[in-house]
Structure 1
Amino acid sequence: MVRVAGVGAQRGCDTMAFVPSIVRPAGQSELVAQAAMVFGNTVRLSIIHVLGRGPALRTELVAKTGLPAKTIGAQLTELEAVGAVKAEAQRGRGRPMLYYANQVQLEKLLSALAEYALGGMSDKDTGVPLGSH
């Protein structure tokens, strides 16, 4: 195992993997940080991509993304925490969850991210009207 700088290392723990906490610069809203977390991760983005075409069970997400069930599960938890994805228990054995993209929240996050990323840019700064891309 490798000692990795971070929370575990500060406690003297050896760890195989470490996920650093998100650092948010001054002036960046919580919504923008959430948007970066959702759209700045290729696995989460692939889940959203699949769910954008319609609801899916976790097994369907695994099949459509080619990613391990454990990975999908962890990322669904993160996406649910910020409201980007909703889940609904289904009837039947084990009560599987059906996942949906929360279109309203995803648009809100994407809008906040675009406004933050492009905020302050005007037509004269870029030479190109912002709406012409």
Structure 2
Amino acid sequence: MFNKGNKLYSIFKFKCPRCHEGQLFETPAYNLKKFQKMPERCHHCGLRYMAEPSFFDGAMYISYAMQVALIITVFVALNILGVAELWLILTLCIFLSVLLIPITFRLSKSAYINIFIKYDPDKKSEY
């Protein structure tokens, strides 16, 4: 399921969508000062990650959908199980949402670039 050549491999491992070798991000996710930093190009195949100015603006919609899905899932699960009161459920939803911002940010960018770039292991460096 998560083998090289599969879009899910590239998305969840934060790899270059074209070669599945290069890293999409420069630092670990919870390096909060630089969690959003991406290299300009893939070190393996030379793909320019920022194809045009504001390319990743569309990733905001994916990130929004992920956050909404997370909040609804946690809210419904805890509400159905009846393990906590409403104020505690809402507090937990907000806490988890804020805690997972670096992960949803990266997943949304990774998913967005994978929509437009297809896997091509034979592509050589452009520079």
Q: TM-score, normalised by structure 2?
A: 0.31
Work out which structure has the larger RCO, using CA pairs closer than 8 Å and 6 or more positions apart in sequence: 2
In terms of Rg, which structure is larger?
A: 1
Q: TM-score, normalised by structure 1?
A: 0.30
